Amino acid sequence: MAESKSLRIAYGEALAELGAENDKIVVLDADLSNATMTNRFSAVYPDRFFDFGIAEANMACAAAGFAHEGLLPFISTFALFGAGRAYEQIRNSIAYVNANVKFGFSHSGLCVGEDGGSHQSIEDIALMRVMPNMTIFVPCDAVEVRKAVRAAAAIEGPVYIRVARPVCECFTDESTPFVPGKANIMREGGDVAIIAMGLMVAEALKAADLLAAEGIRATVVNMHTVKPLDEDAVLSVAEKCGAVVTAEEHSVIGGLGSAVAEVLAGRSGAKFARVGIEDRFGQSGTPAELFADYGLTAENIAENARRLVK
């Protein structure tokens, strides 16, 4: 496996690499390029980089214009500001007309840490998932971020890439498949299936280790694409295991857990539980403290799995 690396740095590097191969790539940012790491692109292609300041709605509309002129725009800011403040423009100017715009929104979820609840986007996937024409990637590590950027560029239409802030251990490598809409099975087991996305893939793998010590065999699924969801994979692991736990650094309302529940409803008798952020906002604290307080831990995933198996 590759060494630990920041997902947002991987995003900026991937943009710079893609920009060297395709002169149609343009990058737009909202006064946060040093945080989103799009400065990696602007450093080598300043004539294709546009800083819109704190004007996310204008940035989204400009991106739509670039796309209509045949360019391939990637727009970046914090997830809260992009998915929230520019929602109407993303909906009407981009998704509604299926404009070929890509979103690399960083600092998502609770892992923003001390910035607090005002900056922690726990609803961005729900907002993006409800939009027709939108594809959603939630990579689990830096290697997957790079693959997600390339996959997004190859898709015609809007794509949302949810980019986490922290430095993370890599659980995938260059040989690991990244096929949009196709989940990756990280571990096989027949007692319970843990379906996770993003930073929770690491916790899911740790939970599987905890369960294995008790004789409970868990399948771990990396659902890197939330939309279109791999329904076949969901139904397959549900049938094999008879119990499914989802794990996400996002509200349990409208995110991965909701998407999996929608697939299972009326089509599977598997037991089901969701691990994620309950109906509450974030708060200030270190990422580790917040993950513990909100139950985004291997121990909580394992406990939910035990209850289902029993």
For residue 272, CA distances in Å to 243, 251, 252 come to: 6, 16, 13
Q: First-to-last CA distance in the chain?
A: 34
Task: From 121, 23, 31, 43, select the one nearest 79 (Cα to Cα).
Answer: 121
The answer to whether 247 and 196 are in contact (CB under 8 A) is: yes
What is the maximal distance between C-alpha atoms in the chain? Answer: 60
Task: From 213, 172, 175, 184, select the one nearest 298 (Cα to Cα).
Answer: 213
Q: What angle do CA 179, 157, 139 make, to 5 degrees?
A: 40
The answer to whether 79 and 162 are in contact (CB under 8 A) is: yes
Structure tokens at 275: 């691990």
Residue 262 CA to residue 140 CA, distance in Å, equals: 23
CB neighbours of residue 261 within 10 Å = 15
Active-site amino acid positions = 56
CB neighbours of residue 131 within 10 Å = 17
The answer to whether 207 and 307 are in contact (CB under 8 A) is: no
